[in-house]
Amino acid sequence: MYVSRTEQQEQNAIEISSSLHKRLRLQQAKNLIGVRLGRNSTASGFVIIDGEGLQLKLPPEKAMELVLPEEELALSILSISENQVVLGPVLAVLTEVRITDDQAAFGSIHDFCHELEAYCRKKGCFFYVLSSAGLTFGSGPLSGYVLKENQWIKSAVPLPDVIYNRMHSRQKELKKLSSLTASSIPFFNRRFLNKWEVHERLWEIPHLRPYLPATEQLTTRTGLEAFLREHKDVFIKPVFGSQGKRIFRVSEKEQLYHLKYTTYSDEFKQSYHGFSELLQALYPRLRKEPFILQKTISIASFQSRPLDFRVLCHKGEDHGWKATSVIARVSGENQFVANLAQGGRLYPPGEVLEQLYGTKKGAQFKKLLKEISIEICEHLDLAAEGFYGEFGIDLAIDDSERLFMIEANVKPSKNGEYLPGITAVRPSAKAIVHYCLALSRLNEE
């Protein structure tokens, strides 16, 4: 349906085409129509106009009440009841916005927002990006970034039906949680889940334990020493870390401790004689934030480099979890993590698994990767407060062909789905919109 503004008129009536009038089955005797877009609504008398297709035109005053853009919109009809039509829905992404040369940029999800907007437009939804800076609800008109002629323009926008939380800062996210909750607008993914709480929640499920590497919280010197003594090769990971950054790997052989450390752009290596010397080097870094200890898995390699898999999972319109995509990731040169932020490369998973394990076993592994990922998502979702609609599950296969979960990411990187030659709207963007449509229907129940 096409929605637009009209010129000023005396009766201040909403104009509807004859085709739309028949579709809405309005009660002519009431001579009243209510229109809702997002959380904004208006009502007025209506007049029927000639014109092809489904058209609805609002006079300036009523358009302002809906915070309707000046340009014509193609919107879906969500519901019709008692002379009221609900349009949209209105979907918003909440993230950090940076202004450069008068242009709005959304960091690592900038291209993804373009895809979301394109698919929303196709589905008859109104889409915009909300800046996390200064965001408040109920204190005046809301501003968001709307795509106009391929530029994101800051504009007045209607309150959304659903918010997709893509804030990258844990601290900023915590500050916004109370405001988001108080708004009563459905939003997902509610917050970051840290590595330790993910492990604890999954450890509660007995049949998932075989897929979890041995993991403990780092709390004392003796705890670290005992864990090293037992496992010989361990990762020390920041509880609140992401993108493979600030990870230590320590291996011990004949009282010689080998340390590897991922920085933001490189990998540092050093060896130490004895645990005390190792701890002296580690302590200044370990005291800054909480860490977990995790047994190193001797994972399979591809082209002589460590290999893991990212399985993107999303909730569908039926609120059930599905594996949207699987990608194989191979670590960068001299790196022990396969994260793209650390120089990793992407490969089609079927191709990699077939080369390593043959056609039949490779297909079985791909199926298992999806099945385990979906089950992990289901259990994390059940244990978490609020709505979650997306997880990125990282898994690896060890040298004995056992499968292990390495990480569960609430806000997976949007740079980790691309393969050469793929330019269309990716499946995860479509999945996000479909889940938003499901959540928007909660407003109608």
Alpha helices in 78-147 (DSSP H): 110-123
Structure tokens, 68 = 């309707």
Residue 339: per-residue pLDDT = 53
- Is 202 found in the same domain as 221? no
Flag whether 432 is in a domain: no
- Is 252 found in the same domain as 169? no
Cβ–Cβ < 8 Å for 148, 72: no
- Is 327 found in the same domain as 291? no
pLDDT in tens, the chain (445 residues): 899 888 766 678 899 998 888 888 776 666 788 999 999 999 998 888 887 789 999 999 999 999 998 888 999 988 888 788 999 999 999 999 999 888 999 999 999 999 999 999 999 999 999 998 877 777 677 899 999 999 999 999 999 999 999 998 888 888 888 888 888 899 999 999 999 999 999 999 999 999 999 999 999 999 999 999 999 999 999 998 776 678 899 998 887 999 988 654 455 778 999 999 999 989 988 998 999 999 999 999 998 889 999 999 999 999 999 999 999 999 866 555 555 555 678 999 999 999 999 999 999 999 999 999 999 999 999 999 999 999 999 999 999 999 999 999 999 988 755 554 555 899 999 999 999 999 998 766 5
Query: Is-above-0.75 flag for pTM?
Result: yes
- State the number of CA atoms in the 13 A half-sphere of 166 facing the CB: 25
Packing angle, helices 221-231 and 275-286, rounded to 10: 120
Here the CATH number for the domain that contains residue 68 is: 2.40.40.20
Flag whether 423 is in a domain: no
- 158 vs 91: CA distance, rounded Å: 10
Residue 22: per-residue pLDDT = 85
Residue 81: per-residue pLDDT = 80
Residue 245: per-residue pLDDT = 77
- Is 302 found in the same domain as 207? yes
Residue 78: per-residue pLDDT = 87
- Is 250 found in the same domain as 173? no
